[in-house]
Amino acid sequence: MNHLKTFLTSALIAGTSMSAYADLSIPYGIEALTSYRSEYVHRGFELANDTIDFQLSSRVSLANDFSINATAWYNNELDDGDFNEFGIYLDLRKDIGDMTYALGTTFHDYDDSFFEDGFDIFGSATWHINKCVDLGASVSYDTGADGWYGELFSSYYYSINDHSFVTLRGGVSAVDGYYGREGFNDVFAKLAYTYDINESVSVSPYIATSILLDGDDLGNDSFYGGVYFAVSF
The pLDDT value recorded for residue 191 is: 96
The pLDDT value recorded for residue 213 is: 93
Contacts of 150 (CB under 8 A, 6+ apart): 137, 138, 139, 140, 173, 174, 175
Give the three-state DSSP class for 63.
helix
Tell me how far apart the alpha carbons of residues 159 and 167 are, in angstroms, rounded to a whole number. Answer: 9
The pLDDT value recorded for residue 76 is: 95
Say what the pTM is: 0.87
Q: Where are the domains of the chain?
A: 3-232
The pLDDT value recorded for residue 225 is: 97
Tell me how far apart the alpha carbons of residues 227 and 233 are, in angstroms, rounded to a whole number. Answer: 20
Give CA torsion, residues 197, 35, 62, 24, to 10 deg: -30
The pLDDT value recorded for residue 27 is: 59
- Contact of 212 with 183, CB cutoff 8 Å: no
Give CA torsion, residues 93, 67, 130, 165, to 10 deg: 120
φ, ψ of residue 124 in degrees (nearest 5): -150, 155
The pLDDT value recorded for residue 13 is: 53
pLDDT single digits (tens) 206-228: 999 999 998 666 678 999 999 99
Tell me how far apart the alpha carbons of residues 227 and 114 are, in angstroms, rounded to a whole number. Answer: 26
The pLDDT value recorded for residue 94 is: 96
CA-based angle 97:95:41, to the nearest 5? 120
Can you identify the CATH homologous superfamily of domain 3-232? monomeric porin ompg (2.40.160.40)
Where would I find the beta strands (DSSP E) of the chain?
28-42, 45-61, 66-77, 84-96, 99-111, 118-128, 133-142, 147-161, 164-178, 181-196, 201-212, 222-232
Give CA torsion, residues 7, 15, 75, 122, to 10 deg: -120
Using alpha carbons, list the distances in angstroms from residue 159 to 3, 59, 90, 113.
Answer: 12, 22, 28, 38
Question: Going residue by residue through the chain (233 aa), what tens digit of pLDDT does each one get?
Answer: 444 445 555 555 555 433 333 344 445 788 999 999 999 999 999 999 999 999 999 999 998 899 999 999 999 999 777 899 999 999 999 999 999 999 999 999 999 999 999 999 999 999 999 999 999 999 999 999 999 999 999 999 999 999 999 999 999 999 999 999 999 999 999 999 999 999 899 999 999 999 999 866 667 899 999 999 999 88
> Mapped to the 3 state alphabet, what secondary structure does 166-186 carry?
EEEEEEEEEEEEECCEEEEEE
